[in-house]
Structure 1
């Protein structure tokens, strides 16, 4: 079992039962107690649960649970690199692109640094991405605002207003949930407002997301499927989602 699936099952158990124990999880998943403790520590950082002696109890609700950038960066690293490589083909040799805050867009930023695209301007509200791009001596426009500690991304009215004035060649977007009916969603209201502005800032909008986000609904819907042009992911969508993407005219690229 992949670690991400284990995290999901632990989260579900905590939500259903209200409490889990280290010994019980160790036996259930066939892993060491130390591994269980590391899992619980990570999920506590993400706000899913609260650790107590011998286990953990329920934390915040699933629709508002949001992983930190640090924890997300360590998950599905290989798949995210594949997604980023596929997204690279959409990046123009010159012009301007928007990079949303996130671990997968961060992987794309790393590739842009490696290629040293001198004629390309990168626009982002992500502090780590801006630091990476500028540190390589490339052109970057850091969109300001109040920086959220959890995501290291600027949010607020000034951030939204800045994006509203832009029309980039391509906007690369991240997401917390992708559903056939609810569309694209994220747990935070302020992040949602910025993401909506990013969607409208690109002549072409590309969604970069791991398949674990499929059929998930978090608190705030910030865009419809019709608002995106391309979905780049690691596995083909299934069920109602694939039909909804087809009806919306979204091109799906499996990396």
Structure 2
């Protein structure tokens, strides 16, 4: 039987090696109760050695408050994002249907691929996506107002959320910074999360477009639980175990 300090050091080492540990698995490994493990994790979090998340812990730097800028994200995993956007075309409503497009590089890739022969009403909070769709054939564009965040170039704030509260679209397409089968869909900024949350509610169906690097990651603010999202479209590099967990949580997963 290890002393508490020895066990805590061993747990910290496990988190560093594995990137994430579950409370139940640690309790079984060390032959202690889950309550004991949670106390150990609290001690280690106060010491800055890890960060607790729903059901376990991750390294201290795993939950970042820093968002990459839009230009940086455009150059990251661009082929996977285009493949995801192409697969998402099958989820579009028919002609004269309506969609909402969240900000982000993968939703922007979808905006680029919208079929010109299908009349659609498109709602977006994203300035770059609005600029694309303003000249797109067959698109009736509705731009959401609000304060524009420089990092994401999206409108946020009370007026943006209020406007979405009055809308109902066939399909809402959203991006995300993190996806977890237990905690759901997360983003670093609370204002951004509020708009995403309202967009999920505005859609008869909610579809998240995210490359596989977002899987099994958690950020500061949750905007949707697993049960709030109907479909996740990701790339074929997604970890099969993580995909299985998401499907078990009730999300349809489409691999592009």
Where on the TM-score scale, by shorter chain, does this alignment land: which range? 0.7 to 0.9
Judge which range, 193-202 or 86-95, deviates more.
86-95
- C-alpha change, 1:67 and 1:229, in structure 2 (3 Å) is same
- Number of the residue aligned with 2:209: 208
In structure 2, the residue corresponding to 1:175 is in which secondary structure?
Answer: coil
- Looking at structure 2, the residues matched to 183 and 61 of structure 1 have their Cα atoms a distance apart, in angstroms, of 16
- C-alpha change, 1:191 and 1:129, in structure 2 (3 Å) is same
1:165 CA displacement: 1.1
Pairwise mapping of residues 139-154 of structure 1 onto structure 2 (< 5 A)?
A: 139-154=140-155
- Looking at structure 1, the residues matched to 120 and 104 of structure 2 have their Cα atoms a distance apart, in angstroms, of 20
- Number of the residue aligned with 1:89: 90
- Number of the residue aligned with 2:129: 129
**Any gaps of 5 or more consecutive residues in structure 2?**
1-15, 17-60
- Number of the residue aligned with 1:70: 71
Judge which range, 132-141 or 159-168, deviates more.
132-141
Do the aligned partners of 1:118 and 1:139 also contact (CA within 8 Å) in 2?
no
Deviant stretches of 4+, over 6 Å: none
* TM-score, length-scaled by structure 2: 0.72
Do the aligned partners of 1:170 and 1:202 also contact (CA within 8 Å) in 2?
yes
- Number of the residue aligned with 2:226: 225
1:246 CA displacement: 2.2
Do the aligned partners of 1:96 and 1:122 also contact (CA within 8 Å) in 2?
yes
- Looking at structure 1, the residues matched to 141 and 74 of structure 2 have their Cα atoms a distance apart, in angstroms, of 22
1:61 CA displacement: 8.0
* TM-score, length-scaled by structure 1: 0.72
Larger Rg: 2
2:111 pairs, out of 93, 109, 112, with: 109
1:190 CA displacement: 0.1
**Any gaps of 5 or more consecutive residues in structure 1?**
1-11, 13-59
- C-alpha change, 1:250 and 1:62, in structure 2 (3 Å) is closer
- Looking at structure 2, the residues matched to 212 and 201 of structure 1 have their Cα atoms a distance apart, in angstroms, of 27
In structure 1, the residue corresponding to 2:134 is in which secondary structure?
Answer: helix
- Looking at structure 2, the residues matched to 117 and 227 of structure 1 have their Cα atoms a distance apart, in angstroms, of 31
Do the aligned partners of 2:243 and 2:253 also contact (CA within 8 Å) in 1?
no
- Looking at structure 1, the residues matched to 248 and 78 of structure 2 have their Cα atoms a distance apart, in angstroms, of 31
In structure 1, the residue corresponding to 2:176 is in which secondary structure?
Answer: coil
1:215 CA displacement: 0.8
Pairwise mapping of residues 183-198 of structure 1 onto structure 2 (< 5 A)?
A: 183-198=184-199
For these two proteins, the number of residue pairs brought into alignment is 194
- Number of the residue aligned with 2:120: 120
- Looking at structure 2, the residues matched to 215 and 99 of structure 1 have their Cα atoms a distance apart, in angstroms, of 23
Pairwise mapping of residues 22-101 of structure 1 onto structure 2 (< 5 A)?
A: 62-92=63-93, 93-101=95-103
1:248 CA displacement: 2.6
Q: What does the per-residue CA deviation read over 1:53-83, in whole Å, with 9 as the maximum and x for residues that have no partner? A: xxxxxxx984211111111011111110100
1:237 CA displacement: 3.9
In structure 2, the residue corresponding to 1:231 is in which secondary structure?
Answer: strand
- Looking at structure 2, the residues matched to 79 and 67 of structure 1 have their Cα atoms a distance apart, in angstroms, of 18
In structure 1, the residue corresponding to 2:91 is in which secondary structure?
Answer: coil
